[in-house]
Structure 1
Amino acid sequence: MKILQVNKMYSPDIGGVETVCQQYSELYAKNHDVTVLCVHKNFKLFGTSTVINNVKVIRCSSLGTFFSMPVSITFLFSFIYQFLKCDIVFIHLPFPLADLSFFLTRFFKRKVYLVWHSDIVKQGFLKKILSPILNHSVRNADRILVTSPKMLEFSESLKNVFHKCVVIPLSINALSIRNTVKDDKGLFDCYDWFDEPKPIDGLFFGRLCYYKGVNVLLDMLLAAKLKGLNPRVVIAGRGEFSDLVQNFIKKNNLTNVHFINRFLTEKEKYCLINKSKCFLFPSVEVSEAFGITQLEAMCLGVPVINTNLASGVPWVSLNNLTGLTVTPNDSVQLLEAFIELLKDEQKLNSFSLNAIERVNAEFDDSVIFKKLNLLIKE
């Protein structure tokens, strides 16, 4: 069977959606012929074709990225050509260029699955302009894969197509992650406290962008200092808020806040989680549709403090079961939850066990991949 995966970008370009697209592609490539169609991240006059882990990856030429969407003329033609060659196509959304391409192939019948990562949130005006094309995708898809029940509950775009939707959460390889943290020698030797069992009170990492709530986290840390508290917190990542984080820490002399101004390797990420008492996930916008990093923390028994967004975020880590959930954009509540967890060792231990159990039962690759394999047999 020939399967086409369509997304904005693909590995080694980093992102949550790119990770999911790679998971799906490599899973199906074990038994099927899989091609990924995507676009170069930056301006590129010519497209390229490579093979990554038995997956053929076609990156189309690019005029650059505007309003978070890559623009490519050749993508339209490549999509039509690849669409006609395949048996099944997975389109990872939001990606308006893919919606337009799908519209252009409306006279040809193929089995089409939309992988609905999020509604278009930030570019509301673009959504209005493109609504006929976006609605075509929803109406004509055979199935729509959503990552959580919360997405179905709150998505404006999916409210009339519930009958097509199936919940298939994001997943992680729990065994692989747990094996990774068995050896952390040589990592973060610059910190003399790294050899302690759980030296990090709170950990935050990811893309430092508008919806991650890192500004709320910084306000919380300043409030903690004014209360005479000095928790050890590690913040890691890069993005539009990198300078804000660095300057804020320096200006307010937050000596126990350690900023790693880059993206972490997988091993670094998991080893830092394993050294943490809790994982801080203060996202403020529904652009944060799921939060797979919550799973990575839960997998290692680290409770999560997340926010009550109208998305899958509070469904992944459940309030008072695997962590605590607070109101978005509320640094006071965030601090209260942080203090509550750090002071209550019994609650920390209970949440830790529950988190491991929830990942094993609901979010491990072994569970989700069975669902994905059954899906294409329908």
Structure 2
Amino acid sequence: MKEKRLRVLQLGKFYPIKGGVEKVMYDLTTGFAERFSHKVICDMMCADGEKGSRTIHLGGNARLICCRTLWKVAATMISPSMIHTLKKECRNYDIIHVHHPDPMACIALFLSGYKGKVVLHWHSDIQKQKMLLKFYQPLQEWLLKRADLILGTSPVYLAESPCLQSVQGKTRCLPIGVEPMRPQAERVAAIREKYPCKKIVFSLGRLVAYKGYEYLIEAARFLDDDYVLLIGGTGPLKAELDEKIKMLGLEGKVVLLGRVSDEDLPAYYGACELFCLSSVQKTEAFGIVQIEAMSCGKPIVATTIPQSGVAWVNAHGQSGLNVAPESGRELAEAIRAIAGDEVVYSGYSRRAELRYRSLFTKERMIENLLDIYHNLWKEQK
């Protein structure tokens, strides 16, 4: 008799993929389809902000179920279609895996009448939308109680989030994992030719306040002229950061690259000496860019943001160095401490890649989650 396959639905956020939470959902869905389709049927349901309701077949029997969005409020997609679709589809799943923060997903689950197991993936607390949180708080409390298991991306965030203090007994850490970056030699060489004889410090992210790019720009003042800082990404602070670079006379020493394409991104990781994550707020809960850089053997300079998992991802003294947020001078000192000596640098580089391979591969994330799912499934059989 053929063994029954576990059926799981990843629920939350939106499509196309624009951020870390959606990327994790998509990687889990495709990861199970690629490696464990004989054991698990894993679908993904989300709000679609562009093309409306549709179903995309991903291979390995996996489906991406997109629900039409009417409008977007406070970074939340309003999708009545998700409520209707989940109510119709939920009975087909043994486990629904909800990715937080996403009030729309929570509302849809609440109204669905679903009776099976729920995994809550707590990527971060709601930080910016304080008014939204006031209205959402009762539903958030319901979701925390409803969840059979709560996953966090780092032990630090799980232990220190004020929202999770009353549910510590059902939390478990599942670090994010990614495919390794594979830089192409010719693309790496082309980037290095643009900055000959320079030690490249690379950073990547939206140009928004919590990323702390103003402090990374200030760090350039304390670095010798053999360093160049490349910052990839777009966002509302572009003009303000450009002005700061000009005001400090750092043109050519700090370069805002704009959007870095998926094709070019591995090459920037490959071309740099190290990666710097200068974020200053808990909104930066993990920093997937850190593990992407580590996969290329690149050391990390990051910040010790209170209650954030960033400094756990970058193990201080092993894969890189962590410094206090909002200090350009400390960022510069850490950059020099790593990149200023070839022997020291080689040690950090080796340990960064080792930390990636031991903790942050996509394969490890998928395998660990498969064990979690099966343990939950056994409980309800």
- Do Structure 1 and Structure 2 share a fold, with TM-score over 0.5? yes
Deviation (angstroms), 1:244 = 2.6
Deviation (angstroms), 1:320 = 1.3
Q: 120-129 vs 141-150, which deviates more?
A: 120-129
3-state DSSP of counterpart to 1:215: helix
Unaligned runs of at least 5 residues, structure 1: none
2:378 aligns with none
Give 1:140-289 correspondences, 5 Å limit: 140-174=146-180, 177=181, 180-181=182-183, 183-186=184-187, 189=190, 192-193=193-194, 199-221=198-220, 223-224=221-222, 229=225, 231-251=227-247, 252-265=249-262, 267-289=263-285
Question: Which residue of 73, 85, 96 corresponds with 2:80?
Answer: 73
Deviation (angstroms), 1:111 = 1.1
Question: Which residue of 15, 36, 43 corresponds with 2:44?
Answer: 36
Q: 153-162 vs 212-221, which deviates more?
A: 212-221
- Check conservation: 1:40, 1:61, Cα contact below 8 A: yes
Deviation (angstroms), 1:164 = 1.1
- Check conservation: 1:147, 1:168, Cα contact below 8 A: yes
Deviation (angstroms), 1:249 = 3.1
- Check conservation: 1:69, 1:95, Cα contact below 8 A: yes
1:104 aligns with 111
- Check conservation: 1:280, 1:306, Cα contact below 8 A: yes
Matched residues in 1 for 2:49 and 2:235: separation?
Answer: 15
Letter in 1 for 2:30: E
- Alpha carbons of 1:78 and 1:110: their partners in 2 closer, same or farther (altered >3 Å)? same
Q: State the TM-score, normalized to the length of structure 1.
A: 0.89
Deviation (angstroms), 1:341 = 2.2
- Check conservation: 2:174, 2:365, Cα contact below 8 A: yes
- Alpha carbons of 1:262 and 1:188: their partners in 2 closer, same or farther (altered >3 Å)? farther
1:62 aligns with 69
- Check conservation: 2:201, 2:274, Cα contact below 8 A: yes
Deviation (angstroms), 1:36 = 1.5
3-state DSSP of counterpart to 2:241: helix
Matched residues in 2 for 1:102 and 1:361: separation?
Answer: 35
Matched residues in 2 for 1:189 and 1:277: separation?
Answer: 15
Letter in 1 for 2:311: P
1:347 aligns with 344
Aligned length: 363
Deviation (angstroms), 1:92 = 0.7
Letter in 2 for 1:210: A
Percent identity, please.
28
- Check conservation: 2:210, 2:280, Cα contact below 8 A: yes
Matched residues in 1 for 2:31 and 2:242: separation?
Answer: 40
Matched residues in 2 for 1:143 and 1:186: separation?
Answer: 44
Letter in 2 for 1:286: K
2:132 aligns with 126
CA distances 1:144-171 after superposition (whole Å, capped 9, x unpaired)? 1111100112111111111211111001
- Check conservation: 1:193, 1:199, Cα contact below 8 A: no
Matched residues in 2 for 1:173 and 1:108: separation?
Answer: 33
3-state DSSP of counterpart to 1:260: strand
Deviation (angstroms), 1:337 = 1.5
Letter in 1 for 2:321: L
Unaligned runs of at least 5 residues, structure 2: 1-5, 376-381
3-state DSSP of counterpart to 2:124: coil
3-state DSSP of counterpart to 2:166: coil
Letter in 2 for 1:204: S
1:22 aligns with 26
- Alpha carbons of 1:117 and 1:242: their partners in 2 closer, same or farther (altered >3 Å)? same
CA distances 1:351-372 after superposition (whole Å, capped 9, x unpaired)? 1111111111112223222211
Deviation (angstroms), 1:124 = 2.2
Letter in 1 for 2:101: P
3-state DSSP of counterpart to 1:171: coil
- Residue 47 in structure 1 maps to residue 56 in structure 2: no
CA distances 1:87-140 after superposition (whole Å, capped 9, x unpaired)? 2111110001111222223x5411111111001111123222211110111111
Letter in 2 for 1:113: V
Deviation (angstroms), 1:187 = 6.2
3-state DSSP of counterpart to 2:201: strand
Deviation (angstroms), 1:250 = 4.2
Letter in 2 for 1:35: D
1:312 aligns with 309
- Residue 372 in structure 1 maps to residue 369 in structure 2: yes
Runs of 4+ in 1 over 6 A off after TM superposition: none
Deviation (angstroms), 1:289 = 0.8
1:84 aligns with 91
Matched residues in 2 for 1:253 and 1:350: separation?
Answer: 30
- Check conservation: 1:237, 1:260, Cα contact below 8 A: yes
RMSD of aligned residue pairs (Cα, Å): 2.2
CA distances 1:183-231 after superposition (whole Å, capped 9, x unpaired)? 332568476346x6x844310112222221112212222x337xx6452
Matched residues in 2 for 1:15 and 1:114: separation?
Answer: 18
Letter in 2 for 1:276: C
Deviation (angstroms), 1:316 = 0.5
Matched residues in 2 for 1:200 and 1:245: separation?
Answer: 22
2:3 aligns with none
